[in-house]
Structure formats: structure tokens, C-alpha cells
């Protein structure tokens, strides 16, 4: 990194010609003030020095900008906001009753409704079981997929639970390119 970010705008002296603004500006034009640097201008507008230089081909030496010089401050495309959250992850009997929790683990029946709720409607929900004793998702297996209605923030599957199941269940839900993962819930089904 060079010191150019901190070189202050200079006043033109005899023989110095202030470069004209760029012919096109996808953003706003800005007049450089005393004490400004490319770095301070970039910080002020939430862009990078490189983005300013790319938008201003008339700046031939990144160490020199002039007081009164008009430069283009590019408009940065807004970052998409992903505010999707999993609110609850519940395990219910086929009649809709909550399953008991013993020792921190949900006690599963042979058929269980798994019902997550979200802060807004989602387009896809993936249900996973990760065996206990593993620390990564590598061994997680898909136990179901739901494509819920576009007007509710609720998904649901009916899971046929294999005997001897012991692990952590979690869901991943998406809408467009925005996805959210739930907390993991410890579950167990004893062998019969």
C-alpha cells in the first residue's frame, strides 16, 4: 500500500491544469476540497479508492488530486439484505402434540412431524440429521425437503424415524439467494 491514500489535495500552481471530470459518471460528481485525500473521499462515500480511480480515468497519478477538481463518486450497488431467520424448530406427534425432552434430547416416535417456523415465507426447506460424535456437516443426511406455501413462514415434513437414531436435526431454508440455518436439536429414538 502506498502513501497515496493520505496525499492531500493540492492547490493548482502555475502550469498545473485541473483535469476535467470524466465524460460519463455512474454516480455523482463531487468537488475536491482542501485537506481531502482519495482515501478520505472514499470513506466519506462508502466506496474504495480503487472504485474512485476506476470511475475517474482522468486521474493519471493517484498521488495527485486538486482542490476544486470534479471527480465521479461511483454508485455502489446495494448489497442484498438477507433477514431470513429460523424462529422455531419443533418435533410433534402425528396428532400435533409436542414430543418429550429427556436429558436435553427430544424423544422421537417412529413417525414424527418436524415443523420449523420462519420470520417470513420461504421457498425451500431442507431437513438434515447429523449423527452425534461428528463436528462437521460432512456426515449429515437429508431427511426431507418441503416447498411451503409462499404465504406462510411454516414448513413441515412427516419423518419416518429409523430405530436407533441419535443425532442433531437442523434445517436450512432459502428464499431466492438468501438462506438461513436453524440451531441444531439433539434427538434420539431408542431401538425397539
Task: Quote the CA–CA distance of 123 and 155 in Å, as a whole number.
Answer: 10
Q: Is 124 part of any domain?
A: yes
Q: Is 50 part of any domain?
A: yes
Q: Determine the structural domain holding residue 35 and report its residue range.
A: 3-74
Q: Is the pLDDT of residue 82 over 70?
A: yes
CA distances from 187 to 95, 184, 191 (A): 19, 9, 13
Query: What CATH number is associated with residue 165?
Result: 2.60.40.10
Residue 155's pLDDT is 93
Dump pLDDT digits (tens) for 136-167. 667 889 999 998 876 788 999 999 999 999 99
Percentage of the chain lying above the pLDDT 90 cut? 65
Q: Is 80 part of any domain?
A: no
Dump pLDDT digits (tens) for 28-77. 999 999 989 999 999 999 899 999 999 999 998 888 899 999 999 998 76
Whether the model pTM is above 0.85: no
Q: Is the pLDDT of residue 4 over 50?
A: no
Q: Is 46 part of any domain?
A: yes
Q: Is 149 part of any domain?
A: yes
Q: Please tell me whether residues 49 and 19 are part of one structural domain.
A: yes
Amino acid at each position: 500500500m502506498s502513501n497515496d491514500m493520505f496525499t492531500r489535495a493540492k492547490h493548482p500552481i502555475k502550469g498545473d491544469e485541473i483535469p476535467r471530470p470524466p465524460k460519463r459518471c455512474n454516480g455523482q460528481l463531487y468537488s475536491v476540497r482542501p485537506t481531502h485525500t482519495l482515501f478520505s473521499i472514499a470513506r466519506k462515500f462508502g466506496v474504495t479508492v480503487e472504485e474512485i480511480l476506476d470511475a475517474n480515468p482522468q486521474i493519471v497519478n493517484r498521488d495527485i488530486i486538486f482542490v476544486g477538481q470534479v471527480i465521479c463518486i461511483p454508485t455502489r450497488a446495494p448489497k442484498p439484505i438477507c433477514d431470513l431467520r429460523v424462529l422455531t424448530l419443533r418435533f410433534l406427534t402425528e396428532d400435533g402434540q409436542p414430543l418429550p425432552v429427556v436429558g436435553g434430547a427430544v424423544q422421537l416416535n417412529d413417525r414424527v412431524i418436524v415443523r420449523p417456523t420462519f420470520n417470513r415465507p420461504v421457498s425451500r426447506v431442507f431437513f438434515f440429521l447429523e449423527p452425534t460424535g461428528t463436528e462437521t456437516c460432512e456426515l449429515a443426511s437429508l431427511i426431507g425437503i418441503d416447498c411451503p406455501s409462499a404465504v406462510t413462514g411454516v414448513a413441515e415434513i412427516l419423518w419416518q424415524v429409523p430405530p436407533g437414531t441419535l443425532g442433531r436435526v437442523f434445517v436450512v431454508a432459502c428464499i431466492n439467494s438468501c438462506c438461513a440455518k436453524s440451531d441444531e436439536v439433539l434427538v434420539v429414538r431408542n431401538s425397539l
